[in-house]
Chain A
Amino acid sequence: MSDRLRLEQAAKLLLGVWMAGIIVAMFLVVPQYVGLGDAGRIIILHVPTAWITTVAFAVSAVYSIRYLWKRRVADDAGAVASAEVGFLFCTLATVSGMWFANIVWGTPWNWDPRETTILILLLIYAAYFALRSALDDAERRRRLSAVYNLFAAVTMPFLLFVAPRMAESTLHPNCAFIQGSHCDGIWLELNGTRVGQLGDVVLALQGVEQRGDLVVAQVEVRMPGLREVALLEPSFELASGKPADRPEFPGQQFLLAVEGVDLANGRVLLNMEAPGTGLLSNSRTFWTFMAANIGFLGLFIWLYRLRADVLLLQERLAQREVAYGLPA
């Protein structure tokens, strides 16, 4: 017993040092990313918390299955504790993401699939707690909330994998948000289609000219709601066949790039790039990120076990009160 206690003390201490190290590394080890500046450091906090949110949800569902199977109070306490800590991490991930989006994309809420998914996850957690508070009988509360928890877990695959792909094709063409989605860009030509749309930004091609080895396109950019109109001049290097100068969209940190040129017909292939997609290719960032994942996982395990113990203790006190008729 005392050996185990000592081990737990040591683990707690190690976790504290580990997390402190991550916070220091987040500012001192991780380099600035071109185009994102200091805002890119949020990856060390934001992505692990979002990941832990899904882990917490899965842990909670496993405890709910065990409760329905064995009907042990301890399993119900585990499910609730995991959901509560998951709710905390879910809120952290949402708020840190909104903060980042406000700085980088110019608006805190974009309705891209990831944001929608995490909002629904928050609502599921909230509904789970609302259900628990509305059921008076303790046994019934445990049983019915476990059922709802599992039922909601069944819909998660649809939310996580199906809805974003469906949405991308019709409502959210902003493929810049979703890695791995095809992002073909649009061809605009001087003698034909001059106006096109990338995401919710409207582009109009005004001119194409060759300056030595560079091809420069003049593109008029209108942001959603006609908030801002700007003339951008992205360029393309003929020798290497790669985009040269990528200007930023006004008010956002997306970049406009020329990815292909057809000078004979005055055609250019325009595309949108999100900064930060190559963030993890830096090895210092990568290892800090992995360490943060481990640290947050440890933090989650410690928190939810602590909370489960407290819940069990409350349960025992309530039982004692019933048995002896005494306030414990």
Chain B
Amino acid sequence: MSGFRRMAQRWRGAGFATVLLVILIAVNLLLNPTRFHPSAWGALIGLAAPLIGAALASAPVILAGRGGIDISVGPLMGFVNAIVIQLLFLKLGMSSPLVIVPAALLIGAIVGAANGFLATIVRIQPIVATLGTYLILTGMTLTILPAPIGPAPGWLKAMAGPWSAVPLALIFLFWWLVRQTPYYDQLMAVGSDDRAAYTAGVPVTKVRFIAYVMTGILAACAGLMLTALIGSADPNIGPTYTLIAIAAVALGGVSLAGGRGGLAGAAIGAIDIFLLQSVLTAFNVSTYVLQIAYGVILVVAVIMTALQERLSGRKG
């Protein structure tokens, strides 16, 4: 029974997002059975993967609290996309996953560490620090890659097709391992009340720094998934993921004040947004109506999440 209660507790934050998920899946199945047929799941997951990846990447720093946020996630995805295709694949002729994946993750870790250094050691407000990296990464991407270019290696494109679930599964395995460590408890403690955590001996700066590095690494993964999906390099797509990923995280019941929620919620929020786009597209409305509906549902969904949290007796 206590196991069930713990499950309920874990899912309560993402409650509304989960309900929305079920509804949206049902609606999508009714509207568009062929697109959602099991045989098409590979391509479908590949299509949703960059947004899910971006949302997962945004989560750790938000969980770490005190205004923790990383708006450079989108540009970092674009930067990884540009480096992998333009520099590694086309210029240096390296196509092996054993080169590309570690190189991408290393870039992510370095950028994440830079963000972490600025936000936790120099102690610049996170949104300003990552705005700085946002501008730097966008500028560097456009310098390396002034115009879109292709193609991508075959194995990478397969990651948006039949094998699209693999990268996401690996991320969840990684997060599951993190949850088994004391670091996870420290992260949540710092996120909910950093002063109490500090007085209890938690190394607050170190915990937050690691959260930024994790965000960087996950953003690099999302960059690879983006590369797999578009099968080319495009300097303009990455930055568009930033704000929508943060919206997905909030929709998934992760408090932007920190310390509440998790990566499962972030993923559900992202899937919600993806399915929502899919429903709206199925109605064949103009892209303008789509954008209005998108904004309305985003705000309403976040309001519902807030109301539900309030009703379930937790502080808002």
Is this pair of chains taken from one and the same complex? no
